[in-house]
Structure 1
Amino acid sequence: DNKPYGLHRARDEKFFKGSPRIVALRKCVGEPKFSYVDFDCYVSATFYIIKTQRINVKYLTGLLNSKLVAFWLKHKGKMQGNNYQIDKEPLLNIPIADTNSKNQKIADELVNSVDEILKAKEQDKNANTQELENKINSLVYKLYNLTEDEIKIIEGR
């Protein structure tokens, strides 16, 4: 209906409630940031909400915030100048490293590092988590079996 208080492009409430999910801005200045959310959270259409039962959401949060995925999105997604435009297709096409018996320990360590960051930020939103973020990047490189030369390219060294 055309009432002035009606919602344009209203979204289903299930996206904002329930199970843990990841929230990200569609357009990012600098590297994209993906936030783990485990509470009801209502956001505008300028955000993406990623919900999945197929993969540990904290594991996915760690992967998405890695330098490797930022590199992927920069080269496979859309850029507006130096700004990332996070679109559905590049996100869906990110090759997610399987957590199998061979690399389960690395995946568990990644999830534990995400947990540590969440706890630190809960206690102090300005907490310096750079060391943990660097650790996550190293774990992601191991998950994808990257060489030292490949890591240098990703990190721009």
Structure 2
Amino acid sequence: MFYTNYDSPVGKLLLAATERGLAGVYFENHRHFKGSDGWVRDDGNAILADVKQQLQEYFAGSRRRFELPLDISSGTPFQQQVWQALLDIPFGATASYGELARRIGKPAAVRAVGAANGRNPVSIIVPCHRVIAGSGALTGYAGGLVNKQALLELEAGDRLI
């Protein structure tokens, strides 16, 4: 695993990639970060350079969709299914946990979908911040609810930078 850091408008992010693609975008104090033991710092990594560029464009309001190779192989098959479904939630839109469970054909798995959503290792790029409670309330975010709110506001047209 290769990594670098990125100072974003929502705080310092740790970006991680394998040779196959982007494998992690972690906030400081990320709830489910397992650590970087054995990782190699590579500030010149081509994938990570692309991630930084696209994140810069996203935060500036000029990018609505990321075009990056992803390596989400760290998840279980169910988690990967949920993470893939997150990619279908459009910029500026939200979906409930129940709606996401229905989209993957498992309408009774709302809690499991919530748990998988919370374990998404590729924050922002795989937009788990777009998933909210059925009531419309903001609930859990491994990067903190303040950051979830900021990302949703950015996508609603409010600029962070």
What TM-score do you get using the length of structure 1 for normalisation?
A: 0.29
Structure with more relative contact order (C-alpha pairs < 8 Å, separation 6 or more): 2
What TM-score do you get using the length of structure 2 for normalisation?
A: 0.29
Specify which structure has the higher proportion of helix: 1
Larger CA Rg, structure 1 vs 2: 1
